[in-house]
Structure 1
Amino acid sequence: MIIPFKELPIETLNNLIESFILREGTDYGEDDFSLNDKISHIKTQLNQGDVVIVYSELHESINIMPKATFQQNQNEFE
């Protein structure tokens, strides 16, 4: 199930994104970005619809993933 990120309180959204960044160890190449820069980057992707916040009842977890990946594997997240 997709969680509408615009309905989340800003603090909750920021914490969720920060947790995702720290958990995933996202790689931004040779450049070094601050945590705030990375949060901003994820928010941009959310606003553009490139990534979505997904809740999985099966795994009882929340994750951020590319929208195309969610659509291909939607049955795993219901």
Structure 2
Amino acid sequence: MIIPWQEIDGDTLDNLIKEFVLREGTDYGQSEVTLEDKIEQVRKQLKAEDAVIVFSELHETVDIKLRREF
């Protein structure tokens, strides 16, 4: 089930994005990207609806996925 990012408390959304970014690793190719920049990139993807927040009732987990992959 897709959870609209606008319905998530600001602090909770920040923590969710940060946890997602940290879980994804830090290899960004030839140029290094700061944690803050990566968090902002994910936030922009959510606002542009290129990414969505997904809740799995079966696994009781929350994740961020690219819309085209979901």
Normalising by structure 2, what TM-score? 0.90
| Amino-acid identity (%) | 51
Task: Compare the two structures and name the one with the higher helix fraction.
Answer: 1
CA deviations on 1:25-55 (whole Å, 9 max, x unpaired) are: 1542211111111110001111111110000
Higher relative contact order (CA 8 A, sep 6+): 2
Moved over 4 A (4+): none
5+ long unaligned stretches in structure 1: 71-78
Match of residue 8 from structure 2: 8
| Rounded Cα–Cα distance in structure 1 between residues aligned with 2:36 and 2:23 | 15
What CA RMSD, in Å, does the superposition of the two structures yield over aligned residues?
A: 1.2
5+ long unaligned stretches in structure 2: none
State yes or no: 1:48 paired with 2:52.
no
Normalising by structure 1, what TM-score? 0.82
Match of residue 73 from structure 1: none
